[in-house]
Chains A and B, each alone.
Chain A
Amino acid sequence: MSDENLVLLSQSGDNEAFSQLIQKYSADAYRTAFMVLRDCDGVEDVVQESFLTCYRKIKSFRMESSFKTWLYRIVVNRCYDRLRKLNREKETLKKMSLHIRPGHEVSYSIESKLDLRKIVLDLKPEHRLVLTLYYGMDFGVQKVAEILDIPEGTVKSRLHAARNMIKRSLVVKPL
């Protein structure tokens, strides 16, 4: 059954339909939240609160976007709430940077996945979120912009910056 039909049934009070939406998206919602919050406790709480919000507001959901996009917007906002609450963003601003320190640039090898992971993990949460949604959840640029409520140009620039950063860290072999 399509998301649209499940949403329509949920709006008419069919809890079973909403359960199917939960089963369909809860795992990816959890992974996305985890990618943003990482070692932060309470990822499950964030996901539960997000679905609870969806459930409460499902009747007012007009399907101007897909349910998945709507759900991810709620999850992302809950993640940001959590970040603000724990004041983690302030700490990560100090240690996370989009730019790699100059001395590290030459030390990365192509096979060093750990280094690539470190680059990803060292990104600001909002930058990592763009990569997670675009690469991990297969959203297009437009959807990512919609979910994050930011301009498409911002999404593109973040993707561009991340690729350039990775490109500089790789020893490119011509195809």
Chain B
Amino acid sequence: MSCEQIQALLNDYLNKTLSEKEELLVKRHLEKCASCRSEYYNLLHADKALRQVICEMVAEIDVPHGLSVNIERTIARENRTGPSGLVVWLKTPLVAAALLFVVMAAVLGAYQNHFNPFAQKQVARQVQDEERPADGVLSQVDAGNSTVKEKEDAPAVVSPSNQLEALPDQGPKEEEQESIVRQQALALKEPGERASKNMREIQGGQTVEPIEEGARQELNAPQSGEGEQGDFFVTSAPPAGSGGAAAANSRILNDEMSAEKRDAIDGSGLDLVPVKPYYLPLGAVPVNVTSTAGGIFQEYQAGDRHFTVKQTRLGADDQELVKKSAQVANVDVVDINGRQGLMEKSQLGQDDHHAGTVTTLKWRQDDWAFVVSGDLPEEEIIKISKSLR
């Protein structure tokens, strides 16, 4: 073997990766060849120096005190918590799907209860209903001949709570079912079919529940022909808890609404902008605003007194109405910002809870008819009327 071949094997000789035969050949060659022996010693010296340096560097490394204990603690923590088992369990598709379903159901339930506009609307109606329970009671007293039919028609007119009780398989704690029931209740309250049904059956005065938003809108909508007079007078009644209101409503309900009228109302736009009274009596606050097909009905309350502001689109019959009204006794002509207003007073019956004088001021402006009415002094009614913008 030549020196070049031997020197090529010197690193492997140091690594001890040569075969026994190759190792023996190298060993014998080094014994004879000074040049190769010198090369070998150079490599051996470098190898020893390298080993020494590496070993010193490794030995100088400070192993943290308690390293093995820390490792054991980490593993013990792993055993206690057992995340691997939990992870495996959670990774099971069926379990994951079930968890996802539960979460989605919870989110949906929360949405239905807190964010669903239908549910919110229904809740608002419930609140409104609870705030004015006396209205229906008083109306029932007034309307003596309507009670039986009303009860038969209970599903259409009962309060939401009654409907909840009436529905089968209702779990009180099942929020989803509750929200569904609410929507069903909402569907039952569709104004087109429910209110008309009630009004046809009711003769000479009827319960008008405040929660019946659809019915209220229809009742307050401007009417032409026969219903017009009653429609105007409804605004002259204090809104809630009042015998006057019941009487006024009775007059309206006598004028049975035709299906054509209701269709016309339901199909009309509600893009009206309500006028705003820039003068309000002390303590007066708006309590209700009802937008209908052709007008807007605003109710205000100032202590135990009420007044209403009604604006409606002016039709051909309205002018005739104004003329007719002018011929009625106790009607005064009042100037309302350059327009001729007709003011009349009506005395509420002694049986009413709020017996007193109701002042009604009507005038028309451009294509609108305005009616401000309430149990306020006539000066207040005039001030309010003049301040409408």
Proximity bits, B85-120, A CB within 8 Å = 1, else 0? 000000000000000000000000000000000000
The answer to whether B57 touches A120 (Cβ under 8 A) is yes
Chain A residues within an 8 Å CB radius of B63: 26-27, 30-31
Q: Which of A48, A56, A116, A141 contacts B15 (CB 8 A)?
A: A141
Q: Within residues 109 to 129 of chain A, which ones have a CB less than 8 A from any CB in chain B?
A: 113, 116-117, 120
Q: Which of A51, A113, A132, A156 contacts B58 (CB 8 A)?
A: A132
Q: Within residues 23 to 50 of chain A, which ones have a CB less than 8 A from any CB in chain B?
A: 23, 26-27, 30-32, 34-35, 44, 47-48
The answer to whether A156 touches B12 (Cβ under 8 A) is yes
Residue of B12, B17, B61, B79 ringed by the most chain A CB atoms within 10 A: B61
Q: Within residues 27 to 64 of chain B, which ones have a CB less than 8 A from any CB in chain A?
A: 38, 41-43, 45-47, 49-51, 53-58, 61, 63-64
Query: Which residue of the partner chain A has the closest CB to B58?
Result: A136
**Interface SS of A by simple majority:** helix
How many A-B pairs have beta carbons closer than 8 Å: the answer is 112
Chain A residues within an 8 Å CB radius of B53: 113, 116-117, 120
Proximity bits, A46-61, B CB within 8 Å = 1, else 0? 0110011001100000
The answer to whether A172 touches B41 (Cβ under 8 A) is yes
> In whole Å, how far is A71's beta carbon from the nearest beta carbon of chain B?
12
Query: Which residue of the partner chain A has the closest CB to B43?
Result: A163
The answer to whether A159 touches B58 (Cβ under 8 A) is no
The answer to whether A31 touches B67 (Cβ under 8 A) is no
Q: Within residues 11 to 32 of chain B, which ones have a CB less than 8 A from any CB in chain A?
A: 11-12, 14-17
Query: Which residue of the partner chain A has the closest CB to B55?
Result: A136
Q: Within residues 147 to 173 of chain A, which ones have a CB less than 8 A from any CB in chain B?
A: 152, 156, 159-160, 162-164, 166-167, 170, 172-173
> In whole Å, how far is B68's beta carbon from the nearest beta carbon of chain A?
4
The answer to whether B46 touches A27 (Cβ under 8 A) is no
B78 within 8 A of A: yes
> In whole Å, how far is A110's beta carbon from the nearest beta carbon of chain B?
8
CA distance A15 to B57 in the complex (A): 33
Residues A170 and B49 in contact in the complex (CB < 8 Å), given A18-B75, A30-B67, A159-B11: yes
> In whole Å, how far is B380's beta carbon from the nearest beta carbon of chain A?
79
B148 within 8 A of A: no
Chain B residues within an 8 Å CB radius of A51: 71, 74-75
Q: Which of B45, B51, B56, B84 contacts A172 (CB 8 A)?
A: B45
Q: Within residues 95 to 146 of chain A, which ones have a CB less than 8 A from any CB in chain B?
A: 113, 116-117, 120, 131-132, 135-137, 140-142
> In whole Å, how far is A56's beta carbon from the nearest beta carbon of chain B?
7
Query: Which residue of the partner chain B has the closest CB to A56?
Result: B84
Chain A residues within an 8 Å CB radius of B46: 163-164, 166-167, 170
The answer to whether B11 touches A44 (Cβ under 8 A) is no
B131 within 8 A of A: no
Chain B residues within an 8 Å CB radius of A172: 41-42, 45
Q: Which of B17, B68, B75 contacts A55 (CB 8 A)?
A: B75
B224 within 8 A of A: no
CA distance A166 to B50 in the complex (A): 7
The answer to whether A52 touches B67 (Cβ under 8 A) is no
Residue positions of A touching B, CB distance < 8 A: 15, 18-19, 22-23, 26-27, 30-32, 34-35, 44, 47-48, 51-52, 55-56, 113, 116-117, 120, 131-132, 135-137, 140-142, 152, 156, 159-160, 162-164, 166-167, 170, 172-175
- Apart from A22-B71, A47-B71, A120-B57, what are 14 other A-B pairs with CB-CB below 8 Å? A26-B67, A26-B71, A30-B61, A32-B58, A52-B74, A56-B78, A116-B50, A117-B57, A120-B54, A132-B54, A135-B51, A160-B11, A173-B45, A174-B41
